[in-house]
Amino acid sequence: MKAFIIDRYGKKETGRIGDMPEPDLRDDDVLIQIHAAGVNPLDSKISSGEFKLILPYRLPLILGNEVAGTVVRVGARVDRFKPGDEVYARPDDDRIGGFAEFIAIKASSLALKPTNLSMVEAASLPMAALTSWQVLVETAKLKTGQKVLIHAGSGGVGSIAIQLAKHLGAFVATTTSTANIAWVKALGADVVIDYKQQDFATVLRDYDVVLNSLGNDELNKSLQILKPGGHLISISGPPTPAFAAARGLAWPLKLVLRLLSRGIRTKAKQKNVEYTFVFMRADGAQLGEITRLVESGVIHPVVDRVFPFKDTHEALAYADGGRAKGKVLVQIR
């Protein structure tokens, strides 16, 4: 099969389209013919080697962390899916490979595609929607009337998180650039901070939850706007000892992550605020909940640009530019 692969780690590794063997099908797997795949910052971070200690992949590696497609075959123990089903998923992080013609995914990580979406639209959702769910529903346990700041509201995660937070009954603030203010308000944001004109830390007060997807400066400033007992949740790091323990990492890595996150954990404790790092995981059951929200009109996918498969390297570069409004996609089929 054709696939977009990297042969080595490095910031200058651009990847290439080449031939790879069709994936093996385990008893609890579903083989999917991929129609479209989402492009995420995680893809470039993996390619540069940023995650090689936490996610030790074998090279050459097929990139791609979310897909939509059609079921071709199912494993012996799979009874929830059948050939011809239209599905979407975030593959388990040790078995990525969305930029390819086929992928084998555990049935437990898979869900039926929303019937009201195209394959491209569906492929834009698993990473952003599962991240939003695992931050806002699972970790923050966001309740009606609570106040949440969602950084980078026009990005892939931000655009879905705003919609989910509003559905949960929260008061939503977000940060974005001048050009996107009206757009994120239309998604449901109650307060929009133009980061080019304002400092969110001087404007917002007494928030219950912050979803951080940006750098250390925004992470530290976010502590200032949280009320005592608030919750700072970051998807961009630094990872915590709890994350290291959950991943079963070796003790030297646990020590490194403890040191990396000690500063923010100490500051959070001093302010009586909880700090959590969330590394989104595959979850077919949660994706099924998201399917219902999409089909009922609560969540709408936001697609910025679609690239042909042959231009996957350009799609990665475009997504890395940080200017996408919503998601960047690669159309495989």
- For residue 16, what are the domain limits? 2-125+301-331
Tell whether 175 and 64 lie within a shared domain: no
Q: What residues contact residue 250 under an 8 Å CB cut-off, 6+ apart? A: none
* Per-residue confidence (pLDDT) for residue 277, from 0 to 100: 97
* Per-residue confidence (pLDDT) for residue 166, from 0 to 100: 98
Q: Is residue 316 part of a domain?
A: yes
Query: What is the full per-residue pLDDT of the chain (333 aa) written as tens digits?
Result: 999 999 999 988 889 999 999 999 999 999 999 999 999 989 999 999 988 888 889 999 999 999 999 999 999 999 999 999 999 999 999 999 999 999 999 999 999 999 999 999 999 999 999 999 999 999 999 999 999 999 999 999 999 999 999 999 999 999 999 999 999 999 999 999 999 999 999 999 999 999 999 999 999 999 999 999 999 999 998 999 999 999 999 999 999 999 999 999 999 999 999 999 999 999 999 999 999 999 999 999 999 999 999 999 999 999 988 888 899 999 999
Q: Is residue 285 part of a domain?
A: no
Report the domain count for the chain. Answer: 2
**CATH code of 9's domain:** 3.90.180.10
Tell whether 73 and 99 lie within a shared domain: yes
Q: Is residue 289 part of a domain?
A: no
Q: Is residue 189 part of a domain?
A: yes
Q: Is residue 89 part of a domain?
A: yes
Tell whether 85 and 169 lie within a shared domain: no
* Per-residue confidence (pLDDT) for residue 322, from 0 to 100: 80
* Per-residue confidence (pLDDT) for residue 56, from 0 to 100: 85
Tell whether 131 and 102 lie within a shared domain: no
Tell whether 7 and 120 lie within a shared domain: yes
| Count of residues in the chain | 333
* Per-residue confidence (pLDDT) for residue 12, from 0 to 100: 86
Tell whether 220 and 99 lie within a shared domain: no
The strand pair at 102-106 and 29-39 is best described as antiparallel
**CATH code of 151's domain:** 3.40.50.720
Report the alpha-carbon distance of residue 54 to residue 269 in Å, rounded.
Answer: 26
- What is the SS3 string spanning the chain? CEEEEECCCCCCCCCEEEECCCCCCCCCEEEEEEEEEEECHHHHHHHHCCCCCCCCCCCCEECCCCEEEEEEEECCCCCCCCCCCEEEECCCCCCCCCCECEEEEEHHHEEECCCCCCHHHHHCCHHHHHHHHHHHHHHCCCCCCCEEEECCCCCHHHHHHHHHHHHCCCEEEEEECHHHHHHHHHHCCCEEEECCCCCHHHHCCCEEEEEECCCHHHHHHHHHHEEEEEEEEECCCCCCHHHHHHHCCCHHHHHHHHHHHHHHHHHHHHCCCEEEECCCCCCHHHHHHHHHHHHCCCCCCCEEEEEEHHHHHHHHHHHHCCCCCCEEEEECC
Tell whether 37 and 103 lie within a shared domain: yes
Q: Are 238 and 261 in contact (CB under 8 A)?
A: yes
Among 262, 277, 292, the domain boundary falls at 277
Report the alpha-carbon distance of residue 124 to residue 39 in Å, rounded.
Answer: 8
Q: Which residues pair with 100 in a beta bridge?
A: 3
Tell whether 140 and 269 lie within a shared domain: yes
Tell whether 172 and 239 lie within a shared domain: yes
Q: Is residue 203 part of a domain?
A: yes
Q: Is residue 56 part of a domain?
A: yes
Q: Is residue 282 part of a domain?
A: no
Q: What are phi and psi of 191, to 5 degrees?
A: -130, 130
0.75 exceeded by pTM: yes
Tell whether 132 and 270 lie within a shared domain: yes
